[in-house]
Every structure is written in C-alpha cells, then in structure tokens.
Amino acid sequence: MTFMNMGLEPELVVAISRLGFETPTPVQAQVIPRLLDNKGDVVALAQTGTGKTAAFGLPILTMLDRENRAPQALVLCPTRELCVQITRDMEAYAACSPGVSILAVYGGTPIEAQLRALKRGVHVIVGTPGRMLDIMRRRRVNLDGVERVILDEADEMLNMGFQEDLEAILAGVPDSAHTLLFSATMPRQVASMAKKYMHEAEEITVGQRNAGAANVRHDCYVVHQRDRYRTLKRIADYYPDMYAIVFCRTRQDTQGIADWLIRDGYNADSLHGDLTQVQRDRVMDKFRSRNLQILVATDVAARGLDVNDLTHVINFNLPDDLNSYTHRSGRTGRAGKSGISVVIVNMREKGRVQRIQRMIGSKFEFRKVPNGRQVCEAQLLSMIERMRGVEVDHEQIDVFLPAINRALEGMEQDEIVKRFVALEFNTLLKYYRDTGDLATSTPAPRSGKAAKPSPTPRPAPAPMAPREQTATAKAPAAPEPAPAPAPPRPREVRMFINIGQLDGINPKKLSDMINRECNREVPVRKIDIMRRYSFFEIAGEDADPLTIILCKARFAGRDVRVEPVNDELKSKRIKRTERRIKAKGGKPGPRKPRKLGKAGKRKPTKGKPSRAQRREQR
C-alpha cells in the first residue's frame, strides 16, 4: 500500500513525501481508509511514535471543506506540548494545501489571541481539555459543524484527571460527529468512556494490547537501593553516545537527580511541573536540538516531547501506574528505529518487573551493571568509532604532517596509539581501575574496610552532533577537559553533623532533613544522635555533595555544618565520642557528669557566654 492509492488529497501526498513519508505505517494503513470511509467511531490501540498524527491528520485534511471557515474537526490531547506538536505536524502535511487553518488552544498562555483566531475562523482545533472547555464556556466557539473528534492519548488524559472536562466537551459536540479514540493502553476508565460516548466503535489494535514497541529492548538492572544513582551513571558511561530521557516519579526526584548528574559532569537537565513554561520550553528546545544529552523528566512533563531518535529511556524509578511503562518505553524505538528501555530496580521491586513483563508481553534482559573494564572498553571503542567517522580536512592538516612525523620519529605505531589513548583516557582508566562491581549478590563492604574510590570524575562525553548533521559530519567538538582524579573514597562514609538532642533532632528528623535538602531519597544509615551533635553513614559518593548542600541548611534556627569523619579531619572531641560509642557496644551512652552551675546549666567560663547561653541568644 502507498499513500498515492489511499484516496488522500494529492497535495497532501506531495507534502508528506517531502517529509520523507514513503509508505504508511501500520496504524496509518488501518486508520486512514476507515476515516476516509467516514463510517463510524474507532478505538485505536497504538503506541506513541507509530505515526498516529498522520493517521488521523491526513484524512481530516482530505475531508475539509476549505470554503467553510468553521471548525470541522476537534483534536483533544493531554498536554500543551503535544498540542503544539500535533498542530505543527498537521500544518506541515497541509504545506501544499493553501487556505487551511489549524489552531492550537492550550492553557498557560493568554486566551485572547486564541479567541481572536477563533473569531477569524479555523478549520481544525487542536486543544487541551481545560482550555477547550474554558473557551466553550465563554461561548466563543461554535462546534455545530464539527464532524470528527479525535481523542489522542486518551489514557493519559484520563490519568491526568480530565474525565469531567472531556465529558463536558463531548456533550457540546453534535451527535453526528464521528469519534476516534487513540490510546496506548486500555485501562477500565478508557473502555468505559469509549462505551459511553462512542457508537459501536470498531476496535483496531496495532501490535499487542499494552505492548511496547517491537524494536525496543527492555533491560533490567537489579541493584541495592543505595546504588541506584551509581548504576544510572555507569549506564550513562557505558553508552557514551546515549541520548536519553530518565524518568523519575516525583518533581523533587527529577530535580535532584538532574542536579546530581550536572554536578558529576553529565550533559543533563530537568523537566517537570515546578518549572515555568518558559523554562520548560527552553529545556525541551535544548533537548530536541541535541544540545542536551540526558533529560531527567516526570511522566507528565515529558508527554508532549516529540523526539524520535532517543537511544534510551531509563526508568530511574518504576512508575506508580505500571501502564505508564508502556508510554515511557514507547518514547524510544520510534519511527522504525531501535532503542533500549532500562529499568533500575531494587530487590523488593522484582515483582513489579514481572507484572510489567506480563503487561508488555516481552521479557526483560536482566543485566549486570557494567564494571570499570567494560565501561572503559565501551568508551575507547566509541572514541575509535568517532575517529573513523571524523571528516579530515586534508588541505588544512597536511601542512602539519612533516613536522608531526619528525616529532614522532623513532616511535612504534603501537606506542603512538597507546600514548594517544592514555592522553584522552588516563583519568577514566585510573578512576575505574579500583571501582568495585555494583553487584546485588555481594554484600557491600563495611565502612572503613573498603578503600574503593567512588565515581566523581566523568569521562569526556562523546560530542553531541546537531540533529541535522550526519554521523560523518559530526563536529569534532573539543573534548571536555579531563577532570582531576577524585581522592579515593570508601563506599560508606561516616559523617558528623553539628546538630544533636539539644536541637530536638532524632533519627527520623535527621533523615527527613537530608532528603528534603537533597530533593531526593538519600539512604542514611547508622545514625547516632548525641547531645550536641550526631553521626550517620551515607554512600561515599554522597559525602561531598551532602556536605555542600547541607552547609546552606538551617535546623532549629542553627546553621548546619556537616563533614566526613575521617582520621585526618577528626577533631579530638569527635574521636573521644567515637571511642565512647565503641566502648558502649555501638550505643551512645550517658556522658561523664559535668560540673553544673546552680541552675543546673553548665558553668559559664569567666567573661565568655557559655555555648548554651549563646544558643539561647540566637
């Protein structure tokens, strides 16, 4: 089947062939003839990225009465971004069809311009439910001429709580209008909506129900909770050409993980609902143009992001609603490309992974987190790949060759290769040389015993090519300066914090404060609360950032100070306290009685207010 013999308007076929559409995708092959036949309602179960927009857009545009500038089709979708995307796509299909007017209406921007455009007359409205209903309630749109209603990503619209809005909108559309509902999954809510508002809808399934895209590989890494972030970094290091979305459950997690990745030298940024629309647009533009390699996002915020060539989708946390996994993984492996959907889970989440397997009808490949050697090899091979693809400007370079050859005289070819590799990779090799496996089966070494360095230096990433550049035309961007090697850090680090019982802290409050300040769940162990200060243990790689983040925090009106307790840094007081804890079998016991003043308070040193007095004064 070709687009030519489907009965589409010839101008549309010309426009889409310029976009590179040669043959219809499966969803287009099934949906376009049905819509052109104009027979009845359709429920289409199809993933994102399967060509849905053209599947409904091309028949809608073919059947428009262009003389009549009144809305004839209404497309509803969950987010502003998707709304803009659909409008842009449909405008591109109509590029050779003059006089077609398609309007996007969505919230978060002033309504007046949209109302004025409606007044001038439009053929197709693409809207988000909230804004569409707002316009209908203001009686600023007449939907009497609407013949087709498209509910795109219906499951997402219902997930986002748009049920009532959708029902109100559908009630305002003529009964004679045909409805086409697209959904990646078929939860009960969608089925009952289809039953209530659609007339004997024909169901089309493209691929399996709830199934992920066929060309997506599903990888699963089972790790200790505390290794989740380190695993993410290893995966990012192992795939240096990664172009990925990392999904987190909450806005706080999203921001936290993005901040940590940025701090660790990755080309990452965040996308979530706490950002303003301008910030979100900026991040999405950066990501679309491939000036950003890793986007950390919530499900909702990433919804409208139309990017086809993602290499990876990473589930840093599994979604609360497992159906969302299909949406997430459907963001890779689009438009005929292949992709990898990764889940990072802890031991307790294995059951949820099984449920996802049943849901998507394909198996996860359970993988070991790449070790240092594997990461180094992958990075080296990627560099060689880039070296092979780089364009050599002979005219410019040849003039230097005699001098270069003279300088290299007497060196074997092997030696030259090794030295160039060392130049680029010494830091990485050194860093990964002593890094342990993040295996789930081997218990983590106790603090102090293991002296394995933990990640901080980041290998220079592969330069990102602008989207339109081909692999061979990649700009040989200057590699990032290699970061200085980090001092070796144990896997677990004992930390001191200057907050204790007197400040009203307890283990829960301490752990809550750390999570709150870091915007993510930081595993905190072995908490010992003393009268004036406390100790706790965290993963080695968390020690530096925590020290930086917490030094800006306040607790009970006091500035917080945190520092790692290691022998060099340890003050006499900390050492004494630690010895006392050890002597009491690990439990902080009562202190030696102190000299007390009359009022039961510590005796002040002459001329100087006591610490307790200073604290009260604060």
Q: Which residues bind ligand AMP (CB under 6 A)?
A: 20-21, 24-25, 28, 48-54, 306, 308, 334-335
Min CB(4)–ligand AMP separation in Å? 13
Both structure tokens of 22: 């040669």
Between 53 and 210, CB nearer to ligand AMP:
53
CB of 47 to ligand AMP, least distance (A): 8
Closer CB to ligand AMP, 305 or 538, in the complex = 305
Angle at 317 between CA 187 and CA 555, to 5 degrees: 125
Instruction: Give me the least distance between CB of 420 and ligand AMP, in Å please.
Output: 39
Min dist. Cβ of residue 187 to ligand AMP (A): 20
Q: How many residues does the chain have?
A: 618
Nearer to ligand AMP, 20 or 410 (CB): 20
Q: Closest approach of Cβ 309 to ligand AMP, in Å?
A: 10
Instruction: Measure the CA–CA gap between 293 and 420, rounded to whole angstroms.
Output: 26
Question: With contact defined as beta carbons under 8 Å apart, do 405 and 416 qualify?
Answer: no
Q: Of 234 and 331, which has the nearer Cβ to ligand AMP?
A: 331
State the amino acid at position 434 in one-letter form. Answer: D
Which value, in Å, is the radius of gyration of the alpha carbons in the chain?
A: 30
DSSP string, 296-353: EE-HHHHTT---S--SEEEESS--SSTHHHHHHHTTSS-TT--EEEEEEE-GGGHHHH
Residue 47 vs 255, nearer CB to ligand AMP: 47
- Helices 507-518 and 540-550, packing angle to 10 deg: 80
* CA 544, 549, 551, 556 torsion-angle sign: negative
Place of tokens 């002597």: 583
* Closer CB to ligand AMP, 132 or 184, in the complex: 184
Task: State the SS3 of 13-58.
Answer: HHHHHHCCCCCCCHHHHHHHHHHHHCCCCEEEECCCCCCHHHHHHH
If the CB atoms of residues 52 and 131 are measured against ligand AMP, the closer one turns out to be 52
Query: What is the nearest approach in angstroms of ligand AMP to the Cβ of residue 87?
Result: 12
> At closest approach, how far in Å is the CB of 301 from ligand AMP?
17
Per DSSP, which regions of 46-143 are E strands?
A: 73-76, 102-105, 124-127
Q: Kindly state the tokens that stand for 54.
A: 């053209």
Q: Which is nearer to ligand AMP, 156 or 264 (CB)?
A: 156
Nearer to ligand AMP, 92 or 444 (CB): 92
CB atoms within 10 A of CB 121: 12
| Min dist. Cβ of residue 380 to ligand AMP (A) | 34
Q: How far is the CB of 336 from ligand AMP (least distance, A)?
A: 7
Q: How far is the CB of 54 from ligand AMP (least distance, A)?
A: 5
CB 493 within 8 A of CB 457: no
Which one, 31 or 560, has the nearer CB to ligand AMP? 31
Secondary structure (H, E, C), 381-426: HHHHHHHHHCCCCHHHHHCCHHHHHHHHCCCCHHHHHHHHHHHHHH
Segments of 72-184 assigned E as strands: 73-76, 102-105, 124-127, 148-151, 178-183
Beta strands in 471-571 (DSSP E): 492-497, 525-529, 534-539, 554-555, 558-559, 562-564
Least separation, in Å, of the C-beta of 151 and ligand AMP? 15
Fill in the amino acid letter for 514. Answer: I
If the CB atoms of residues 52 and 178 are measured against ligand AMP, the closer one turns out to be: 52
**Is the Cβ of residue 54 or residue 102 nearer to ligand AMP in the bound state?**
54
Q: Which C-beta is closer to ligand AMP: that of 52 or that of 234?
A: 52
Cβ neighbours for 491, distance < 8 A, ≥ 6 positions apart: 436, 444, 445, 447, 450, 452, 454, 539, 540
Under DSSP, the state recorded for 209 is: T
Give bridge partners of residue 315 from the DSSP assignment: 247, 343
- Decide whether 335 or 416 has the Cβ nearer to ligand AMP: 335
Other Cβ atoms less than 10 A from the Cβ of 492: the count is: 24
Nearest distance from C-beta of residue 319 to ligand AMP, angstroms: 21
Supply the minimum distance, in Å, between the C-beta of residue 59 and ligand AMP: 14
d(CA 519, CA 530): 26
**Smallest separation, CB 50 to ligand AMP (Å):** 5
Q: What are phi and psi of 39, to 5 degrees?
A: -85, -50
